[in-house]
Chain A
Amino acid sequence: MELRRSAYVIREPGGSGSAWDARPVTLCHQSVGVQGISRRLQRVHSLSCRMNFKNLREYLAWLYYQYLLITGIYVLEPWEKSVFNSILFSAIAMVIYTSYVFVPIHVRLALEFFSGIFGGQPESTMTLMN
């Protein structure tokens, strides 16, 4: 990972401003919900802004690193990582394929079904009145 460093560098406390005001304003505690997810994304975004990524490639590499850490894949051997990644990737690909192929059809059928119920009624009362 290009994020690792091997040199031993002593930083002076006064100089590096980033070391002292380390965090943006803390957000208050609320229950986990949609707000929680958006706050988390906000925090990830603010973190990555603070980390000074030079280019998109480094940012993507850092995201991949986070994925390795969170799923625990980081501790496995490389071939096990590949096995897990391929299984996950194929599962996600299947989900995307299914949603791409079948979701529009199902949505259209559902809309027709519901519009058939609501659309049909006013017509019959109108004909009766006429």
Chain B
Amino acid sequence: MRAACRRDHKLCASRKMARTADADLKPQLKKNGVRCRETGGSFRRNGTELVWDFLQKKGPGNGAASRQKSQESFEQAPMYVAVMTYLGFGIVTLFGYFRDFLRAVGLEKCHVAQEREEQKNFVPLYQDFENFYTRNLYMRVRDNWNRPICSLPGPVFDLMERVSDDYNWTFRFTGRTIHNVINMGSYNYLGFAENNADFLTTVADKVQQYGAGVCSTRQEIGNLHIHEELEELVASFLGVESSMSFGMGFATNSMNIPALVGKGCLILSDELNHTSLILGARLSGATIRVFKHNNMHSLEKMLKEAVCSGQPRTHRPWKKILIMVEGIYSMEGSVVRLPDIIALKKKYKAYLYLDEAHSIGAVGPSGRGVTELFNVNPADVDVMMGTFTKSFGAAGGYIAGKKDLVDYLRSHSHSAIYASAMSPAVTEQIIRAMKCIMGKDGSTEGIRRIRQLAENTKYFRARLKEMGFIIYGNDDSPVVPVLLYMPGKVVAFAREMLERRIGVVVVGFPATPITEARARFCVSAAHTRDMLNQVLHQMNEVGDSLCLKFSRRKRSPQPDLYEETDFELDS
């Protein structure tokens, strides 16, 4: 990199900051760690785990007394678990080939779409191999997904019982309902998925006033006063100048990133970003580079290289560098290292796009997301994006930031021009939920729910760790992935938990790496201690019955305060 700079002397002369950045980096690298001066976060290898400790300011106070240590851990399972996982997948794949052979020969009826006899010599329409996994593994076990529910998806819900006569190719309903299944899968963090008529009177009034749908886009005649009210409220909630709301959370990302960046810009996106961010980045036409998950060293290396070398062939400077991260990553439960990223962004003059889909309303002492969790000035984050689907019990998304940015988006966003505006009922639900969280409706219900969620999260995570399960992610995140690894155990776990009236979401291969299948629990403020104990008790039994307790952690009665020891950096 230095050599490249010397070659292109003219270009690098203006990039003084790259050289000073190098000099700054040296003392940090000597100690072989990623350390952020502001928060003192550091890596440490603790046996089989990689643990990231950082200091967070908890609470509105700012003294040393309110600092607490928070941990993020990604423990590795013993080697035999990986071997067994591959073995399981291998055997099922062999049987998949065998069944495909039987179908090809004609000994077995083929249930998937096939071409007609007359078209056999044409270019194949249905690519058989791509559907191999779906046909041969997913179909066998798909009774664990897409289960139809027939009540409100609150902390408990009712499921319709269904059985299959031909090994999950078709289902039929028996007519019975499974009542009061504890819901550990909904993103109902603050419990706003409720249908209590008292709470929803304002929503009913607005439907009377504005109607059910808008039937137009924001730029045409779909801009209602209630939308502007919502946007002002969101801006004051987040502590920024202005915000804009959109009808769909996924579309907020995929339609607005193309409006912000284009060709000649660079996007540095985290490894585990959500599909909406990836889609938006690809649609924009910018160059995309991926850095390792939550790894500041990898990000810094890429930033340095981008600033030094510029665009690929012409070596012109990039028009914009946008760092895209999420507040809480929903598959891992890990929290972004916001102070480190902001320090890097300021050093290298890049922009930050923060997707707070899961963290808004769910973390932070008053529910304002990761900026509050790390006590960071919201003005430091250039584009704050979030969704109303998870913590607010509604639908849609928002983008917030400086007034110039939001005004630009109002006229240039694809969603504003072409997508239908948010319906008034949904808007009012968000307004009421947000007022409840902020305390503007005159009650303490909002803050009670946030505290309840924090308490539930801490309790649930601590108990699961104590039992011996491998849990990923930050101690504060309400998303709890429990690692199951083997495909047989994933399926058996989902079925056993349903028999015990607990509904869980299990995730397998395409959405996660092949060796890390998991069950993802989403703790909610609406769960009572009783429900959590019930879930934990059943998990204990299922964990014993299926041998799921892989953790090799040494458990001490009290968490120790670790000094910075020597450790390895993954780069």
**Which chain A residues have a beta carbon within 8 Å of chain B's beta carbons?**
3-6, 8, 10-11, 13, 16, 18-19, 22-23, 26-29, 32, 36, 40, 44, 47, 50-51, 62, 65-66, 68-77, 80, 84
Contact = CB atoms under 8 A, between A and B. Distances in A.
Contacts of B211: none
B79 A26 contact: no
Contacts of A3: 545
B498 to A, nearest CB: 10
Interface string B517-560: 00000000000001001101100100011110101111100000
B80 A69 contact: no
Interface in B438-497: 466-468, 486-489, 491-492, 496
Contacts of A28: 47, 552, 554
A69 to B, nearest CB: 4
A76 B536 CA distance: 29
A72 B488 contact: yes
Interface of B: 47-48, 78-80, 84, 87-89, 91-92, 95, 137, 140-141, 167, 180, 466-468, 486-489, 491-492, 496, 499-501, 530, 533-534, 536-537, 540, 544-547, 549, 551-555
Contact of B552 (A5, A26, A71, A77): A26
Contacts of A26: 468, 551-555
Contacts of B79: 32
A129 B167 CA distance: 84
Nearest to A21: B466
Nearest to B469: A22
A75 B138 CA distance: 10
Nearest to B47: A29
Contacts of A16: 537
- SS of B interface (majority): helix
Interface centre among A27, A44, A69, A73 (most CB of B within 10 A): A69
Contacts of B554: 26, 28
B544 A72 contact: no
Contacts of B500: 5, 8
B544 A69 contact: no
B371 to A, nearest CB: 36
16 contacts: A4-B496, A5-B500, A11-B537, A23-B549, A29-B48, A47-B544, A47-B547, A69-B492, A70-B486, A71-B87, A71-B91, A74-B492, A75-B92, A75-B137, A76-B140, A84-B95
Nearest to B179: A8
Contacts of B486: 69-70, 72
Contacts of A13: 533, 537
Contacts of B553: 26
Nearest to B548: A69
Interface centre among A23, A27, A36, A77 (most CB of B within 10 A): A23
A19 B552 CA distance: 19
Nearest to A67: B488
A63 B89 CA distance: 20
A103 B491 CA distance: 42
Contacts of A62: 545
B499 A36 contact: no
A77 B167 contact: yes
A28 B46 CA distance: 11
